Amino acid sequence: MQWIKDIVNGLVEQYQTNNIYELCDFLNIEITRKSHNKDIKSYFFRNLYGDEYIFLNSTIEPREEKALIAHELGHAILHTDVNVSYYCKNTLINKGKLEKQADYFAAILLTANIEVDNYSWEGQTICQLADEIEVEEFIVRENLNLF
């Protein structure tokens, strides 16, 4: 999925940041927290006027927020022909192509400023690595390909 890496690199280069909150501001994507179906953690919505929103379930853990916003930002940038996408709690479902692309986008974006050589990975679990660089475990698995 080199094309996704290229898009992320271009985005980070253009805006000089991989901070998801700053990127959403630059791209006029509003982040809103609200209570809704407990199985839906977040979703992206684009209305008929081109206004874009990322909705976060108010019950999500703070640790999940960055990954969810980055995932939904991936939909906004990669899937311009899609109006709505949902990130559901149920991890047993088979994720479709668009969801996998958004996950990969999030992994690349959130680790864009990490120099692998600056971390001592030996003897650490994926969870410990994720804690050290403050991202979700799937991001370590997807992007850093250490295991």
Per domain, the residue ranges of the chain are 2-116
The H-assigned helical ranges of 19-87 are: 20-26, 62-78
State yes or no: pLDDT of 146 exceeds 90.
no
pLDDT tens per residue, range 7-63: 999 999 999 999 999 999 999 999 999 887 777 888 888 888 889 999 999 888 877
What's the pLDDT at 142? Answer: 65
- How does DSSP classify residue 83? S
Question: pTM of the full predicted structure?
Answer: 0.79
Residues 109 and 11: beta-carbon distance below 8 Å: yes
Please identify, in words, the CATH class of the domain defined by 2-116. Answer: mainly alpha
Place of tokens 């479902």: 93
